[in-house]
Amino acid sequence: MAYIEGFVAAVPRGNKEAYRKHAAGAYSLFKEFGATRQLEAWGDDVPEGKVTDFKGAVKANPDEVVVFSLLEYPDKATRDKANQKMMNDPKMKDMGANMPFDGKRMIYGGFQPINDSGKSGRPGYVDGSILAVPRANKDAYREMADKHAAILKEYGATRVVDSWGDDVPDGKVTDYKGAVKATPEETVVFSWVEWPSKEVRDSGWEKAMKDPRMKDMKLPFDGKRMIYGGFAPILDQ
């Protein structure tokens, strides 16, 4: 089963191209170690929240943009071996010493997909979200996610993925648990929706939010702590 390494970072607005080049260079190693896909998406429609949001998750400054990023691996074993190799690879150490953003504020973790609906491709736009779900509600969340994905695909989404937190470490400055104020009884979920374009995404969400099936859907988690936003891909390979 596939495995996801998810990242969120704050990148200075002026370092967009430097970040893209940095990420593209890193993928040659990720691919060598077994990754099958790398997606880097630049914050485009990232709202501020009353309780939590993407900017607060990585303590973004006014001159920084939130980046939503992920690596896909064929399984957890491949991802674990890749991380071990990376820790000992001098090229990774050199890249780590020359990052065009503050790596101390980047949040990351490993996630196991529990819903992967649609076809993977090169999306024109991506919706990303992070939320905290009570462990006891895993089956209820999966059931809701399946229904949610079906509606979004009906209105233009090409792929919807929900992945359950599996290896989500505590950070010294920022981390996923703090980003959504997760309690000890909750697990972090890393989710994204792929769309052909921003226009299709905007239209799709407008239709979905008017759909009675969406209005009647009960959330098995605290929606007030969910963080979400729209991102424009700058690298997908």
Q: For the chain, what percent of residues have pLDDT higher than 90? A: 89
More confident residue, 12 or 26: 12
> Is the distance from CB of 234 to CB of 42 less than 8 angstroms?
yes
DSSP state string for 92-147? HHHHHHT-SS-GGG-EEEEEEEEEEEE-----SEEEEEEEEEEGGGHHHHHHHHHH
Confidence of residue 149 (pLDDT cuts 50, 70, 90): very high
Is 80 exceeded by the pLDDT of residue 97?
no
In this structure, which topology does domain 3-236 adopt according to CATH?
Alpha-Beta Plaits (3.30.70)
Confidence of residue 94 (pLDDT cuts 50, 70, 90): confident
Q: For the chain, what percent of residues have pLDDT higher than 70? A: 100
Confidence of residue 28 (pLDDT cuts 50, 70, 90): confident
pLDDT in the model for residue 115: 95
Segments making up each domain of the chain, as ranges: 3-236
The pTM of this model reads 0.96
> Is the distance from CB of 35 to CB of 118 less than 8 angstroms?
no
Is 90 exceeded by the pLDDT of residue 207?
yes
> Is the distance from CB of 154 to CB of 69 less than 8 angstroms?
no
Q: Which residue, 15, 5, 6, is CA-closest to 234? A: 15
pLDDT tens column, 113-135: 999 998 878 899 999 999 999 99
Is 90 exceeded by the pLDDT of residue 213?
yes
Number of Cβ within 10 Å of residue 89's Cβ equals 14
Q: What is the mean pLDDT of the segment spanning 121-150? A: 97
Considering the chain, what is the average pLDDT of its residues? 95
pLDDT in the model for residue 1: 74
Number of Cβ within 10 Å of residue 1's Cβ equals 9
pLDDT tens column, 38-93: 999 999 999 999 999 999 999 999 999 999 999 999 999 999 999 998 888 887 77
How far is Cα 180 from Cα 126, in angstroms, rounded to an integer? Answer: 20
**Residue 225: what are its φ and ψ, rounded to 5°?**
-100, 0
Is 80 exceeded by the pLDDT of residue 96?
no
pLDDT in the model for residue 53: 98
